[in-house]
Structures are given as C-alpha cells and as structure tokens.
Chains A and B, each alone.
Chain A
Amino acid sequence: MSTTFIISLLLGLSIAGYFFGYRRSITLASPIGGVKNLHSRPAYYGMLVALWCGLPTFIIFLVWQSLEPSIISSLMIADLPLDYQNLPKNQLGLIINDIKNLATGNIVAGEKNAIMHAAANHYVQLQILSKWIKGGALLVLGLITLIIVCRRITPEQRARNHVEKIIRIVLFCCSTIAILTTLGIILSVLFESIRFFKAVPITDFLFGLKWSPQTAIRADQVGSSGAFGAVPVFIGTMMISAIALFIAVPIGLMSAIYLSEYAGKKFRTIAKPLLEILAGIPTVVYGFFAALSVAPFIRQTGGLLGLDVSSESALAAGLVMGIMIIPFVSSLSDDVINAVPQSLRDGSYALGATRSETIRNVVVPAALPGIIGGILLAASRAIGETMIVVMAAGLSARLTANPLETVTTITVQIVTLLVGDQEFDSPKTLAAFALGLLLFVATLILNVIALVVVRKYREQYE
C-alpha cells in the first residue's frame, strides 16, 4: 500500500461520502415534500459527510506519516543486540544509517555483517507493516465516520452552517500555518542572535564601524580577533538599495503611466510582458552582466572623467539591480493605475484639465497605495538581493559613502559567513543570524513606514 494509494483511497472515500450524503438527504426529503423542506440544499449534506469522512482521516494520516520514521527506527534499535545498543551515540547513528541504506538498497559506507542484514530486513518488514496498518485503520475509520454522519442526517440538520463552520476552521488553520512558520523563523533567528550577542556585545554590533569576522579557530593561532561592527555592511546595503530604487522608481512609475495612460492597446499588450521578462531573468545573469559589462564601463567612464573607480563598485551593482526591479514597480503600478475608474478621469477632463494634470492630480493620488506597495516590493527585493552584489560590488566591508568604491551588503556577508566548514557556535557563524535579524528589522521598519504613508494618504484621498 503506497502513500499515493492511501491518499487516493481517502479521496475516493470522501467523494463516495459526498454522494451518500447527497442521496440520503434526497431520500429523507421525499416524504416531507421535496428538497425545499430540507434545512440545507442536498449538496451541503453531501459536503458535510465528505468533510467528516475526509478531514479526520487526513489529519491522522499526516500525523502518522510524520511519526512513522522515528517510531520504526526506535523499534528497530530495540531489536538490535545489546552491544550495538550500548555503542556511543554517534557510532550508533552511523550504523543505523548503514542499515537504512541497506534496506533501501543504497550503497553502504561501512562494513556489512549478518546482524545488520537482519536489522535491515526487520526494518523493511516494519515499514510494510506500518503501511498496511495505516491504510487499514484509516479506511475503517473513514467508513465508520461516513456511516455515522450519513445516518445522523435529518431534514432539520443545519448542514449548511456546519459546513461553513468547518470550512472557516480549515481556512483559519491554513493562515495560522503561515503565521506560525514566520514566527518560528523569527524566533530561531532571535535565539541564535542572542547567543551571538553573548559573545559580542550588542552595542559593538550595532554601532561598531569595522566588520572583519575572521576569528581565530584555536586560541594559539595568529590572526585577528574579529570585529563585528555591522555599520559598514548596513550602510552598504542601504546604499546599493537606494541606488537601485533611484533607478527603478522613476523609470518604473513613468513607464507604468505611459503604458496605462498614453500607449495604444497594441503597444501595451506587447510592452507589458516584455517588461515583466526583466523580473524573470535569473539574478546570476544580471550579476555577470553587472560584473562584466557595467562595472568596466563605469570604470572607464570614471577614468575619462578623472575619477578613481574600483573595478567592483556599488554603483554598478545598484544600477543593474535597479533595472532588475523595474518591473516590480511598473507592473504593479500599471495595474493599480488601470484600476482607477474612468469616471474620475472623465471628471477631471470635463473640468478642462489636460492629460498630464489629470494624471498628476487625480490618477496617481488615487493609485498611490498600490504604487507604494509596488515600490515596497521592489525595495525588499533590492535589500534581499545577493548575487548581483557578490559579483559586481565585492566582498570587502568598507565604510564609505562613495558609490564608486567596493562595498558589501548584509545578505552577501551572511552567505560568506556560512559558506564553508565551520563550527556552528563560533561567533563568526552566529554573526550571520544577527545580520539576518538586522535585515529583518530593517525590512519590518520599511513596511511599517509604507503602511503609515499609505494610511495617511488613504485618509486624505478616499
């Protein structure tokens, strides 16, 4: 009994439940003068049975599925000879891994012996057994609920309200999953950051002007003790994002206005998808475009103007990133500008306003909340972007306000901190979490600001 089979079995059972419930309600309705005398329409009775039959079994299925591996492996371990069981934890882990590999037919790292073969056989048997029990139990459970719920159908039963309630609960659960996941991520980042702040004072991190996270692995090793001042990295992020937004917001907004207010239908249908392709190009491609074409170009032009431009610069990364995020601004703005009712434009035209006056004074203010949303999306894209920066702006954290020098960003530093082998409790690794937290707080503040702006304009403009 494979997993897919069990799922389709449960699905089939639900569908059958729907038909039984449907039929039963109609049967009940005929002596009392037809379907109109039922509390709810027959479909709701069907749905009620289907939901009762499908949901609990599905939940049990999920729970079983998630507990199954650990239970089976502990059952298998319990059956191993005692001298195996008393092995140190990591050795035991290796052997269990080998046994599992043996069971699935994969290549085994260590040496094999009869005990392990037996254990592997046992493991496979347990798995098969679990599958059968699972399938059988769920089928029986589903059938029982189907029958019970079906038999409890009465003409007065408030099936519609019942179904609506169940649906509401399901929807609620789904939204909670998203919220809980976010919360989980935040908490784990927060706890790791707190561990980091035990090693490095939070004030050093927030206000320190030097970022060089190379700590000595052994006490006797030569090397710097590491400096974890996040300011240069943070400034780098802000500078590159600002350059990117500086490019993307005007171009994106204006192209949106052109597309929605001036362009003909034909041009629009061609231009809009083309513009959106920009967002679909992988960032690596942008990255080497930035590193191989834009950065040298800026260096050369800078050289002609007598400026000293380094071969990797914030400007190059920012420019290319700006182009990448244009569609976020333009596409969303275009949509909201199109959603502004024509009657508002007509009202303005009828007062003798020109097209640009109408756009400036009526259309854009009316579309502002959506436009801000687009800009915000673009901004978070820019702040989170890594690849372009790695390739075009460099890795060295330098505290500078000059966009022609190399800088680095939070995301890039997180990557460099976590790439390669290291212990997971050295300050160097934990610093990544602190940076992540910083990034999170920064985007959160950005969101709040945008929300406040939108609300302020809403009050004024709606």
Chain B
Amino acid sequence: MESIMDIEGATLADNISMTLEQQAMASDQEAIKKKTIVSREDRRTVGEIYTEDPRMTCRNVNVHYGDNHAIIDANIDIGRNEVLAMIGPSGCGKSTFLRCLNRMNDTVEGCRVTGEITLDGQDIHGKNIDVVPLRAQIGMVFQKPNPFPKSIFDNVAYGPKIHGLASNKSDLEEIVETSLQKAGLWEEVKDRLNLPGTGLSGGQQQRLCIARAIAVSPEVILMDEPCSALDPIATARIEELIAELRKQYSIVIVTHSMQQAARVSGRTAYFHLGDLIEVGETERVFTNPRHQLTEDYITGRFG
C-alpha cells in the first residue's frame, strides 16, 4: 500500500514539468490507477457489516447511473436505535447509497438499483410494497436545503397534512411547534411562521427541512450532511436532536466532518469510489482502521 502512495507522489512531482495537456492525461491515468491499482480483492468490505438486531439490511446493492457504476456490491446492516455515519471523499457515492434506502433513486432518470434492501425484513423493492408509505416511514433530509415555496408553517405542516396526522388545527400547530423546537428553529421563527420558508438563511432552511422531516415521525431518518450549512451552535443543537431521536429511531447520517461522525454515531461506514470499504464501531474505525484506504482518509492523506 505504501508503494501506491510513492507512485502517486512521483507522478505529482513529475506533473510540475508537464504541459497542461499532459497533466490532464496524467490525472486521467491517475484516476484509473486509483481505481484499478487497489485490486478487487482489496476493495472488499472489511469490518462488522452485520448487526444483531437490524432495522434495515442491504445485500449486494449496486447502483448504476447509465454507464457509471456508482455503488459496487455494498452490504451493510442498519441497526435498531443506531446512528450510522457514512463518510468518504466527495463523489464516492454516499448520497447515492442514502437515496437507495428510501427509494428516492426511483425518481432519477437513468438510475438503476439492484440488490436487496429490506426494512424490518421486507424487501423495499418488493411487489407488495407501496413506495409512498415507505417514504413516510423513512424520512430524509437532503444535502441541499429545499424548502417548499410556502410559509414556514406550511412547510412543516405539509407532511402531517397529507398523512392526516393532525385531526384539527391545534393538533397541527402543536406538531409544527414541537418539530421546529426539536430542530432548534422555533425561537428564531415563532413570530414569523407565515413568512415564506425560502426567505430564511441557508442554515435556517436546513433546520426547517429537518423539522419538516421529523414532523411526520419517520422511523428511519436519512440525513445527507445536515450540518454542512450550520454554525457550531445549530450543529450542536442538531447533534442533540440526533442523540434524542436515536432512542426511538434509526438514523443514517452522511457527514464530511469526522469529528461529527465520532460524536454522534455508533457505527461508521467508509465509502471509497463506490465501494463500501470498511464498516465498524465508530471508535474502532477512527482509532484502529483495518483498511489502508480508511486509514489514509481519516489521517488526511487524501480525499
């Protein structure tokens, strides 16, 4: 493994004297090398894939965007009352994998998901499974905040309304208030619930989307970098929320912050160029990674 780094180091040094064109070619080759130099064998997932009491299981999951093989043979369990962190360099397929879990990839044109994913033992791609209640069960917070062009109140009330969770107006108001409180946004917006959600700051929008997701009380929550636009205070608030939600729900969180992964998650999965490289207890993965690629990533050698 060390030798790979050496080769890369050498190419980098050579780059300096190359023309732009050659550099482009070289970096292409480098990318190919990165993918191929680590043999198929070495990209097999190491660590503890299975949990004792899985809420969701993923077996041989492959995702293709057209010709792009974005997820290669991923196997992983998501435990009950567990926070699973997914880390990995940009473009390695974290979001893609997350979107498989609530079948959001169905809406992406040209995206093909194969393999078996189960929720409570039921195949989520099964014929008798209706994707609409499935998605209500598995909530999602997106990487980019996407509040609806509606008022703050209506944004949060949207889910409860379509699922008939509130029998009257005061019920609905209560759901909205508790959801906003849990997301740590209530204090900031309680006086302007009728203003448009799109008028909030980026971080506030992200919290609004979190409130929107938890308003329908999902059983599994998928969060795609929920704190990327938040300040430390709001981040702390969200992390508290995650700790609280864990008591009842399963949570999968994608993050670029390894500290955050260490703080909130029980298990961590490391993705690399579409491969699930390593899964394990968070502390173990960070202190004693078993795979060279994981070690390289968490020690900051690349990615």
Q: Which residues of A contact B (CB under 8 A)?
A: 341-354, 357, 361-362, 365-366, 459-462
Contact = CB atoms under 8 A, between A and B. Distances in A.
B140 interface: yes
Contact of B135 (A343, A350, A460): A350
A354 B131 CA distance: 9
Interface stretch (B145-153, B182-190, B260-268, B272-280): B145-153
A166 B81 CA distance: 67
Given A350-B102, A350-B135, A352-B163, A365 B150 contact: yes
Contacts of B135: 349-352
Contacts of A366: 148-149
A369 to B, nearest CB: 10
Nearest to A368: B149
B149 A351 contact: no
A357 to B, nearest CB: 5
Contacts of B107: 342, 345-346, 349
A461 B196 contact: yes
A351 B212 contact: yes
Nearest to B147: A347
A342 B133 CA distance: 21
Nearest to A353: B162
A95 to B, nearest CB: 70
Given A341-B146, A346-B142, A461-B196, A351 B216 contact: yes
Residue among B104, B134, B144, B158 having the largest count of chain A Cβ atoms under 10 Å: B158
Contacts, number: 77
Nearest to A347: B146
Given A346-B104, A460-B151, A462-B198, A352 B142 contact: no
B162 A361 contact: yes
Contacts of B212: 347, 351
Closest 5 pairs (CB-CB, A-B): A352-B136, A343-B146, A350-B140, A461-B149, A351-B159
Contact of B150 (A351, A353, A461): A461
Given A345-B107, A361-B158, A462-B196, A353 B148 contact: no
Interface of B: 102, 104, 107, 132-137, 139-140, 142, 144, 146-151, 158-159, 162-163, 196, 198-199, 209, 212-213, 216
A350 B139 contact: yes
Given A344-B149, A354-B132, A366-B149, A349 B104 contact: yes
Q: Which of A343, A347, A366, A461 has the most CB of B within 10 A?
A: A347
Contacts of A341: 146
Given A350-B140, A352-B135, A344 B216 contact: no
A460 B150 contact: yes
Contacts of B196: 459-462
A346 B144 CA distance: 11
A351 B155 CA distance: 11
Contacts of B151: 460
A347 B209 contact: yes
Contact of B162 (A350, A351, A460, A462): A351
A343 B158 CA distance: 16
B199 to A, nearest CB: 8
Nearest to A457: B149
Contacts of B102: 350
Given A365-B149, A461-B150, A462-B196, A347 B142 contact: yes
Contacts of B147: 347
Contacts of A349: 104, 107, 135
A343 B137 CA distance: 20
Given A350-B135, A352-B136, A362 B216 contact: no
A439 to B, nearest CB: 35
A352 B149 contact: no
Contacts of B162: 351-354, 357, 361
Contacts of A354: 132, 162
B132 A362 contact: no
B238 to A, nearest CB: 18
A461 B198 CA distance: 8
B89 to A, nearest CB: 23
Nearest to B137: A352
19 contacts: A344-B149, A346-B146, A347-B147, A347-B209, A348-B158, A349-B107, A349-B135, A350-B104, A350-B135, A351-B135, A351-B136, A351-B213, A352-B134, A352-B135, A352-B136, A353-B158, A366-B148, A460-B151, A461-B149
